[in-house]
Structure formats: C-alpha cells, structure tokens
Amino acid sequence: MRFLRTPPPQTPSESTRMSISAPATELVDKLVYANRILYEQGIVDGLGHASVRHDNAPDVFLLSCNRAPGMVRRRDIVCYDYDGNAVSQTTERPYLERFIHGEIYRARPDVVAVVHSHSASVIPFAITQNPLRPVFHMAGFLGEGSAHFEIREAGGNTDMLIRSSYLGAALAKCLGGHTCVLMRGHGSTVVGTSLEQAVYRAIYAETNAKLQMAGRALGDVTFLNREEAQLSSDMNDGQIPRSWNLWVKRLGNVNLDE
C-alpha cells in the first residue's frame, strides 16, 4: 500500500473560532511547563509534543504550534478539534502528528492529556515487540503492559509519522485501554487523566525501560503482578504533585512568554 499525504486541514470559519471559549490561563501555563519539563528530563528533544483537553470546550484540545518542546511559549498554544483543525487564531504551522492527540481523545473519553516522544530507551522495546512491564513501583501504570503499534498494518510503507486522522485512529485503536503504546521505528505515546499524570508516565516509562533492559541482562526479571501494579499506581497518583512541583522548580525562574 502506498502512503498518501494528507491535505492540510481546512481553516475554520470566524464564527467557529468565536464559538470556542479561551482556555483557562492556568491550563495554558501548565501545558507550557509540561513541554519544558519533558525537555529538561530528556524525554523529548527538538521533537515530541504534549497536549491536554480544553477545560470548558467539548471536542477541543490544546497543543503547541510546530515548536521544539523546550521553547514552547504561552502564545504558541493552539486549540484544535479532533480532526486536527485549528479552532483558535494562529498563523503558525501545526505539528504534523496532531492526529495522534485528536484521535486518542476521540476514542478515549477518560484521557485528559497525551504525550508523544521518542525517548531512546523505549524504542528497543518498540522494534522488538517486547512490552514494557513494571519492574518497580514507580511504573505501576504499566501493569497491563504496553500496547504495540505496527504502522505497516495500517498504512503500508510510510515515513513512520502519524500524519492523518486515519493513522491516528489506527494508533488509538491499538492503544485500547492501555496507558502506553509503543510505535515500531518511531517512539511511544502515553496518556493520563491529567497533564501532570501524563508527564509523570512519560518520564517513568523511559526509566522503567532502562531498568527492564538492565534487569534482563542480569537474568530473569520479576515484574510487579497486576495487584501490585494497581496498588502502586494508586499510591503514586497521590504523590505526583510532589514530583511536578520539583520539576517546575528545576526549570528556574522561566518567563513563559519567552
């Protein structure tokens, strides 16, 4: 199957833009912090992206324009519908892979935030179809294991990018009810019920991958069982603000407008 490039999204009418209320300032700031935290933690570099659902507009999510995560500013945050159309005023290019976010939000009403990255330790699992499984309590969210997405099955030979709603829907279907989906030859996508949780999961998916590979080199790995993983995940969810506040502090006195 030959991969066809998707035409650029239609520009929404002025009336459509006016019908979308502005997101809360606090939510915009949090998304800027999320991008910069992911960069500071080495989960993303010049590529990768994070998004969050709009706080009071249905079927709309917030995502930066085509900007390196470590350089995202308040004015870079754009509102998109699930089809990848900008529904707030912008003249900037969008991310090619905004369809990852839109289709996951469409398929998973429970998901509030999405992080897509190419963190290096996760990729070996994606290319060998070995699932990530929790080896320590900080990764209890991986108790069901990671899903695996093979883009050839959905789009044939491609440039590996999720650059259409069709491929985004295929990825979302593969994700199913999991918290993490590995993307062969590409990276991974994690989801959360809050932006802080999605960032936490992206960071600890990478950490777990490193530990899982190190443990396998030494011998048989004893993974957390399903109950241990759930109990650990529940415990850690209550502790995420402690880590989030530290990550924000590590950024220093940043100006979110620069």
Instruction: For the beta carbon of residue 88, count every other beta carbon within 10 angstroms.
Output: 19
Cα distances (angstroms) measured from residue 88 to each of 19, 64, 84: 10, 12, 12
- Per the annotation, the verdict on 97 as an active-site residue is yes
Predicted confidence at residue 63, as pLDDT, reads 98
d(CA 187, CA 2): 22
Per residue in 10-20, pLDDT tens? 445 454 454 68
Tokens of 121: 């330790």
Instruction: Give pTM, 2 decimals.
Output: 0.92
Report which DSSP code applies to 149.
Answer: E
Per residue in 176-201, pLDDT tens? 999 999 999 999 999 999 999 999 99
Percent of the chain at pLDDT exceeding 70: 93
Average pLDDT over residues 42-49: 98
Number of domains in the chain: 1
Per residue in 122-142, pLDDT tens? 999 999 999 999 999 999 999
Predicted confidence at residue 238, as pLDDT, reads 96
Report which DSSP code applies to 24.
Answer: P
Instruction: Name the β-bridge partners of 189.
Output: 116, 181
Per residue in 204-237, pLDDT tens? 999 999 999 999 999 999 999 999 999 999 999 9
Q: Which residue has the higher pLDDT, 7 or 137?
A: 137
Residue 3 lies in a domain: no
Q: Which domain holds residue 186?
A: 14-250
Predicted confidence at residue 19, as pLDDT, reads 66
Residue 155 lies in a domain: yes
Which of 97, 103, 196, 206 is an active site residue?
A: 97
Residue 7 lies in a domain: no
CATH of the domain at 141: 3.40.225.10
Tokens of 221: 């790995």
Residue 256 lies in a domain: no
d(CA 163, CA 49): 14
Instruction: For the beta carbon of residue 91, count every other beta carbon within 10 angstroms.
Output: 6
Per residue in 53-112, pLDDT tens? 999 999 999 999 999 999 999 999 999 999 999 999 999 999 999 999 999 999 999 999
Residue 141's closest CA among 108, 101, 180?
Answer: 180
Residue 220 lies in a domain: yes
Residue 2 lies in a domain: no
Sheet of strand 77-81, all strands in order from the earlier edge strand to the far edge: 77-81, 60-64, 49-53, 113-117, 187-192, 180-183, 147-149
Answer yes or no: is pLDDT of 143 > 80. Answer: yes
Residue 1 lies in a domain: no
Question: CB-based contacts of 255: which residues, under 8 Å, 6+ apart?
Answer: none
d(CA 63, CA 211): 31
Decide: 163 and 6 in contact? Cβ < 8 Å: yes
Answer yes or no: is pLDDT of 4 > 60. Answer: no
Answer yes or no: is pLDDT of 6 > 60. Answer: no
Average pLDDT over residues 148-169: 97
Residue 258 lies in a domain: no
Instruction: Name the β-bridge partners of 117.
Output: 188
Decide: 202 and 180 in contact? Cβ < 8 Å: no
